[in-house]
Chain A
C-alpha cells in the first residue's frame, strides 16, 4: 500500500533527492556550513542521504567575528560526524583591516564572498550546497534550486534558466559554478519542527537567556538578539506560530538599504 507522507517527511525526502541529484552530477561539490540552524539541518539531511557519511568537503567561512559558541559547536560536531572541514578566511583583507567598522557591505563582500571565491578557485569546486530558504528574504524567494554563478561569481537574476518539476539545470560549463539549495522550500517553522522531531543538536545561541535569543546567527558584530522567553526547541516552535516579527529583523545587512541584499547576492554573497 502506498502511504501518504506527512509534510515534514515530504520535505525531507525531497531535500534528500536534491542533495543526491547534485552529488551525482558533481563529485567535486562542497557544502557551506555556517553552523546556524539551517545549514546544520542541511548537514543532518546530507548524513541521511549518504547513510551517515558526508562525502565532500564542508566549508566554514570564518570572518573572525563569529561567536565563541559557534566555534565550539563546529569543532565538536565536525569531529563527531567525521566531517572534512575546511575553514575559509580572507587573510589578506583581514590584514588590510577590513572589518564591520570600515563598512558592512565591504566587510560582508570581502570577508565572506571574496574568501569563498578564493577557496572555490583554489580547489576547483564546481558546485556548492547552501542552506538558504525562500521565506528568509524576498530576494531569496527568487532563487532556483540549482542556480548558476558566472566566472566572476555573479548571479544573473534577470536571466535564470527554467526549472521544471524536479528537473534542474545541471552540468555547469567550465566558466561557472552551481549553487544547490536543498532547503529552498522549507520555512523557518518547518526547520524548527524538524529539529524537534529529529532531535538535531543546535548551537545554544538560539535559546533564550535572560529574556533574549538569536533568531538568526552570523557575525557577533552584526547580529542582535530578539526579546524572547523561548529556551527550548518546543518553545521556539510555539513562539514562531504566534510571532509577527520576521526572522532576519536582527540582521544589520538587511536594514541598511532596500537593495543591499540584492547587491550582495548578485555579487555572489550567500
Chain B
C-alpha cells in the first residue's frame, strides 16, 4: 500500500459533495469515535438530523449556511489502498477554491443531483477538470431517493452529462446511481436499484489506475535557488523529468551554455544518479552563471525555448484581464513578465458558448485560447508531452489570477 490516490469531488452547489465524502469515511470505518460523536452533537445543536457534511465543513459559516466555502482534504483507506479526498466547494463564488483543490487531484468524481440534473457548475467544474488535464471522471448521480430510484431519470441524466463531457474531451469511467445520505451504492450495494449492475462508488475508485506520468525521458531540472554551502555553490531544484548521473553534460536554458555535472548532492547519503521527483543539489563545473529560473536539460532539441506561447487558460480573478496588461507568467521556477497578445477564442466555461473574442478583456470564469508574448525566452513543452513544464499560472500582485496549459 505505498500508493495513494487523490481524488476531488466536484459538482453544483448542494448536489451532495460533502455528504458523499462523509459517507465514504463513515462506511469505511475511517472516522475516529470522537469525530462521530462530535458530528452527532453538532448536528443536534443546530437542529438537524445527522449531517455527514459536518465532518468536512469545519468553518462556522459553512455549517450554519450549509455550504462549503473552501476546499478540504481528508484521508481514508479502502481495503485496497489509501486515499486523499478533496472536497471542493460548489458555489460559483468559490470557483478558485475548487480549482485549488482539483489541481492536486489524480482523478475526479463529478456529482449530480438526480432531481435537478446537470446544472451550471456541473458543466463548469467538468470543463475546469479538462483544463487542468484530468481526462477521466467517475460520475455519480446522487439523491436517487428523491426520484424514487427511477432508472429512466438516471439514464436521461447519464446521457446529458456524457454528451457534454464528450464535447470537452473528457472520458466517463462509469456513471453510478447513488444516495449519499443513506449510503446506497457508496460503499455498500443498494437494495433499491437492482436494475443497476455496475460497480459501487468505492469499487469504481479502487479500479482507477494512478496515472503514470508519460513525460518524455529528457532530463529537465528547473533551478530553484543557489545555496552557498561553505565554499561551494550548490544548485537546488527538483527534477521535473528524466534522470541524471555525475559527469554528464547538460545545457543551460535560456543561455544555451554547456556545463558538466560534477557532483550530485543529497544530505546524509552519497548518490551518483537521481531521477524525476527527487529534490537534490547539483554542483556544476565552473564558471557558468546559474540562478533561479534557469533550466538544466540534457537535450535542448527536445524542449521549446521561445518568447511566444500558445495556450488555453482559465481566468479566475474578479478583476478582468485587459488586453495588453502586463502580468507575470510562471512555468516551474521560471517567472517573467508577459502580455496576452491575442485572444484566439473565448468560451463561457459553463455553456461552452463562444464569446466575442474581439472584446478587449478576459473576464472572471472565462476560458480563452490565447497567444502569450513573454519579455524573455522561456523554456516549455506542450502539456501533453510534459505536465510540469507544460502548465503555467499568471500572477498579478503576488496572487495567482489564471492557470492554463500549453498547446
Contact = CB atoms under 8 A, between A and B. Distances in A.
B79 to A, nearest CB: 14
Contacts of A160: 70, 97, 100
A29 B242 CA distance: 32
B393 A164 contact: yes
Contact of A244 (B33, B234, B278): B33
A170 B398 CA distance: 6
B72 A158 contact: no
Interface in B289-344: 292, 316, 330
Contact of A262 (B42, B60, B330): B60
B359 to A, nearest CB: 24
Contacts of B55: 138
The secondary structure that dominates the B interface is mixed
Interface in A103-150: 134-135, 137-139, 141-142, 144
A137 B60 CA distance: 14
B96 A162 contact: yes
A14 B279 CA distance: 8
A167 B391 CA distance: 10
Given A141-B58, A244-B33, A21 B224 contact: yes
B130 interface: no
| Most chain B beta-carbon neighbours within 10 Å: one of A1, A157, A165, A243 | A165
Nearest to A184: B73
B261 interface: no
A258 B58 CA distance: 9
A72 B287 CA distance: 46
A258 B42 contact: yes
Which DSSP category, helix, strand, loop or mixed, fits chain A's interface? loop
A165 B103 contact: yes
Interface stretch (A46-54, A59-67, A203-211): A46-54
Interface string A215-243: 00000000000000000000000000001
B100 A163 contact: yes
Interface string B390-407: 010100011110010000
A172 interface: yes
Interface string A183-212: 001010000000000000000000000000
A51 B75 contact: no
Interface residues of A, number: 56
Contact of A171 (B31, B234, B316, B398): B398
B199 interface: no
A3 B275 contact: yes
Interface string A1-32: 11101110010111011001101100000000
Contact of B399 (A2, A13, A21, A161): A161
B108 interface: no
Interface string A238-259: 0000011110010000000011
Contacts of B32: 243-246, 249
B103 A138 contact: no
Contact of B292 (A24, A135, A187): A24
A245 B31 CA distance: 9
Given A24-B292, A48-B267, A48-B268, A142 B279 contact: no
Interface string B66-93: 0001111111000000001000000000
B35 A246 contact: yes
B59 interface: yes
A79 interface: no
B275 A2 contact: yes
Interface of B: 2-4, 29, 31-35, 38, 42, 45, 55-56, 58-61, 69-75, 84, 96-97, 99-100, 103-104, 217, 224-225, 227, 229, 234, 236, 238, 241-243, 265-268, 275-279, 281, 292, 316, 330, 391, 393, 397-400, 403
Given A24-B236, A50-B227, 7 more contacts: A2-B242, A137-B58, A141-B58, A141-B73, A142-B70, A164-B103, A262-B58
28 contacts: A2-B242, A2-B243, A3-B275, A20-B236, A23-B225, A50-B229, A50-B267, A51-B267, A53-B229, A134-B73, A134-B74, A135-B75, A138-B56, A141-B58, A157-B69, A158-B59, A160-B70, A161-B399, A162-B316, A163-B100, A165-B391, A171-B398, A244-B31, A245-B33, A245-B34, A258-B38, A258-B42, A258-B45
